[in-house]
Amino acid sequence: MVFGKSKDKGVSRKEHLAFKSASILQVRVLTAFLFVVFSCCSLPVFAGERLKVVASIFPVAEMARAVGGDRVDVRQLIPPGSDPHSWEPKISDMVWLEKKADLIILIGAGLEPWAEEVVGQVKDVRSKMLELAKVSDDLLKADKDQQKGHGHGHDDHASGHNDPHIWLDFKWDMAATLRIARAMTALDPGGASFYEKNAQNYIEALKKLDISYQKALSSCPRKTFVVAGHAAFGYLARAYGLRQVALYGLSPDASPGPRKMAEVTELVEKEGAAKAVFFDDTVTGSLAKTLSRETGARTFVMTPGESLKRSDISKGTTFIGLMYRNLDALSDGLGCKTPSRGPAE
Ligand SMILES: [Zn+2]
């Protein structure tokens, strides 16, 4: 029994939902089974043994590796190239979470919907879970207040829903890194100063990244960027005084209708000579190509890093390196004056 990806764009929304509820039912049956079989077996951590850490997506795995160093083994749960918004675990993943993982780090805020359905019902798994979005409740609240206060309510903004793409706010990443260090220390107190030092080093790299963004994006003649994909960059846009307009909503599961395409095409056309469209090459570039053909806009790759391909990871791409690449694209596409280049990967 495999709870496969449901990324097939040829499947109708209705069929997709029917499939999804069938999957959830299967998952509930599986959950009950796993609860009976494994609820006894949360493993203790012995001195000298590496912590087994599961991280849901690539940016979280990087934070966990940066903090844990050689005292931890980090496994990225959602495979490279998969869409975390629609991915579901296989039985082998569930068994690993139940029996082997010491710490399970998730973004939360709805990015991993399976976690509520499956992991939330199995007591021993819940106790190992670190939902990073929970450390950012204030940020999420501030985000909602900001939307209310500024009258944001269009579908190119978060529309009152919690936007799970929080790792694209680098200040939030700093807080999350500290939280990961604290969770590792709780399981392995002997590594306290090691985890703390590593966390501070990673936070320093995030601070440099944040400063590069501030400098490069403060001088741009255009402040609106068009994303031919899902609206993953809301936090990043708000952090640097930009505005995101995306063809999709907060997840890539519904294609934009003709009216949305027409609206966005018109907006790109208004931008004048240096028109730009951004897209995530780990998902698809076809809508970006359509927009580019119709408007003459240049296309730029900008990826949130949640679906990074295995080939990129094996080339040594890092989350921070990826964010510098995004900054190059933004800076070029928005006509910013200050060079954006950060440290080479
Ligand atoms: Zn996303």
* Residue 250 CA, ligand 1 centroid: distance in Å: 6
* Residue 95 CA, ligand 1 centroid: distance in Å: 26
Three-state SS string across 266-327, please? Answer: HHHHHCCCCCEEEECCCCCCHHHHHHHHHHCCEEEECCCCCCCCHHHHHCCCCHHHHHHHHH
Three-state SS string across 205-272, please? Answer: HHHHHHHHHHHHHCCCCCCEEEECCCCCCHHHHHHCCCEEEECCCCCCCCCCCHHHHHHHHHHHHHCC
* Residue 169 CA, ligand 1 centroid: distance in Å: 14
* Residue 44 CA, ligand 1 centroid: distance in Å: 34
Confidence class for position 290, pLDDT limits 50, 70, 90: confident
* Residue 42 CA, ligand 1 centroid: distance in Å: 31
CA–CA separation, 191 and 245 (whole Å): 44
For residue 15 the two structure tokens come to 């069929």
The helix or strand, by DSSP H or E, that contains position 51, with its residue range, turns out to be strand 51-55
Higher pLDDT, 167 or 97: 167
Give the model confidence (pLDDT) of 105-122 as tens digits.
999 888 998 887 766 666
pLDDT over 70 at 5, yes or no: no
pTM: 0.78
Q: How many residues does the chain have?
A: 345
Burial of 170 (0-12, 13-18, 19+ CB in 10 A): buried
What one-letter code names the amino acid at 161?
H
CA–CA separation, 146 and 237 (whole Å): 13
Greatest CA separation for the chain: 65
pLDDT over 80 at 45, yes or no: no
* Residue 199 CA, ligand 1 centroid: distance in Å: 25
Give the model confidence (pLDDT) of 142-191 as tens digits.
555 544 443 333 333 333 457 899 999 999 999 999 999 999 999 999 99
The helix or strand, by DSSP H or E, that contains position 74, with its residue range, turns out to be strand 72-76
